[in-house]
Amino acid sequence: MSLVEGRPGRIGRVERATKETSVLVEVNLDGTGLVDVATGVGFYDHMLNQLGKHGLFDLTVKTEGDLHIDSHHTIEDTALALGAAFREALGDKSGIRRFGSASCPLDESLAQVTVDLSGRPYLVHSEPENMAPMIGPDYDTTLTRHILESFVAQAAICLHVHVPYGRNAHHIVEAQFKALARALREASEPDPRATGVPSTKGVL
């Protein structure tokens, strides 16, 4: 069941199909945090739930992928579709705040995220070295950066993510998704004082 169909708000819907995966993403930027996610990768589902819940985005994600190989294609293609849906939902970006930032702790870990909905894809990402290589049976922790790279490429945003410290890999990754959600929420919210596109160029 669609969480966005027939509802008011800025909505993006993307379907992506290859020989490796089939992905459907729907997002409503003006939602209440309703989430219906199923990728077949449990920890990734948990992270996408954080994104919807803490961003107050209504989010549907349905992915079927070649998990008999590994989770890489499933995770990557979902992130690409999510970025494309987010960009579609933003429209011409008229009246939004454009910039957003958030810091989110999770026990011993801290994530700091700053975003500019600039129309130009750029990622700066750092997290503690020597993290555990896996979270659960199918989430390779090196994929967190690749998720963000894929999302940024399709959403066409500038994103800085920094985790200055943390020990537990689950906490390090989850703090990033929570901070990303809060920063995207702030950046995409309407600014009651703004009119038009928030750029001296007149377009983003």
Residue 17's pLDDT is: 97
Pairing outcome for strands 35-38 and 58-65: parallel
In the structure encoding, which two tokens stand for residue 18, read together?
Answer: 């290859």
Question: What gap in Å lies between CA 149 and CA 124, rounded to an integer?
Answer: 9
Question: What gap in Å lies between CA 153 and CA 84, rounded to an integer?
Answer: 9
3-state DSSP call for residue 75? helix
Question: Distance of alpha carbon 59 from its chain centroid, rounded?
Answer: 10
Is-contact 115 158, C-beta < 8 A?
yes
Residue 202's pLDDT is: 86
Residue 3's pLDDT is: 75
Q: Report the chain (204 residues): mean pLDDT per 10 consecutive residues.
A: 77 98 98 98 98 98 98 98 98 97 98 98 97 98 98 98 98 98 98 92 88
pLDDT digits (tens, 9 = 90+) for 29-45: 999 999 999 999 999 99
Residue 37's pLDDT is: 98
CA max distance for the chain: 51
Residue 106's pLDDT is: 98
pLDDT digits (tens, 9 = 90+) for 3-32: 777 778 999 999 999 999 999 999 999 999
Residue 1's pLDDT is: 61
Pairing outcome for strands 158-165 and 109-116: antiparallel
Question: What gap in Å lies between CA 125 and CA 80, rounded to an integer?
Answer: 17
Phi, psi torsion values for 135, nearest 5 degrees: -120, 115
Q: What is the pTM of this model?
A: 0.96
Residue 77's pLDDT is: 98
Instruction: Sketch out the chain's domains with CATH numbers.
Output: 11-188 (3.30.230.40)
Q: What is the DSSP string of 139-195?
A: EETTHHHHHHHHHHHHHT-EEEEEEEE-S-HHHHHHHHHHHHHHHHHHHHSB-TT--
